Structure 1
């Protein structure tokens, strides 16, 4: 069963979610069966981060589905947001400070919503266009950086970016 206490359980009509003594999430379904080590997974993490969320078992099976996170009780939405922030890491680029070369591989120095960072862009094919004009850039280590609105970047950043697109 679970080592968490039911007094900290957050309930919705379909399931109860609690963090156990080891920091893992435990989902108890309407049938009373507890599933330890569950994880929330967004269906569309970039284009629609607040809609379409699955609660997955440790072995990858969907246990619960949430259409709209905003419809959940505030404490449950906060618990899920906390868990998502711990496993999702996708800094948003606010400005491109410099690039070492306009040929790849090149080292990019950028300002993100999480601070300044440098990364290596292995090839132009690692810049992907997404719906709504967004761009997703994968560095040489597989870390993804998001540019939500390239047109909102400063002029110098757009000029650098245009050379790679």
Structure 2
């Protein structure tokens, strides 16, 4: 597993990329091309102005140290809890409060309107709460029966 660049953190904890020709780029940021459908594929390393300085086809092709740096940076920049189960909703009319179990713990949020539930592909849903936080349901067909019944009322 080799890359044509090196990646380290500087004293300010910013990512610094040095490419194969020795050019050094400070404060690079990873950006996923397809954050929901293919989160480990298509990662661009960009500067603050959006200029791409490196492209990664697949995170799994990187050595462990570089992959860990990129994963840590992405986790700090992206916050999208994945809903594992819908415990309850206060009403089937909006606005309503949803009580859910996510991969980051139990929480509740207010769904302002049906338009805040967006389909992504055939099986995924992106739900925006009243604070702009997005919750992901990766596969609405794999979710438990109780949660699916609730979803069906909103879709």
Normalising by structure 1, we get a TM-score of 0.89
Question: Retained in 2: the 8 A contact 1:36–1:58?
Answer: no
2:138 to 137, 148, 154: 148
Indicate yes or no: 2:22 matched with 1:36: no
Q: Deviations 1:57-114 (Å, cap 9, x if unpaired)?
A: 1221111001111111122112111111111111110111111111111111111010
Per the alignment, residue 3 of structure 1 pairs with none
Per the alignment, residue 95 of structure 2 pairs with 105
Q: Which has the higher helix share?
A: 1
Q: Which runs of no fewer than 5 residues in structure 1 stay unpaired?
A: 1-10
Distance 1:83 1:125 in 2: 31
User: CA 1:146–1:13 in 2, change beyond 3 Å: closer, same or farther?
Assistant: closer
Q: Deviations 1:103-137 (Å, cap 9, x if unpaired)?
A: 11111111101001111111111111111411110
Structure number with higher relative contact order (C-alpha < 8 Å, ≥ 6 residues apart): 2
Q: Which runs of no fewer than 5 residues in structure 2 stay unpaired?
A: none
Per the alignment, residue 6 of structure 1 pairs with none
RMSD, matched Cα = 1.4
Number of aligned residue pairs: 155
1:70 to 51, 55, 60: 60
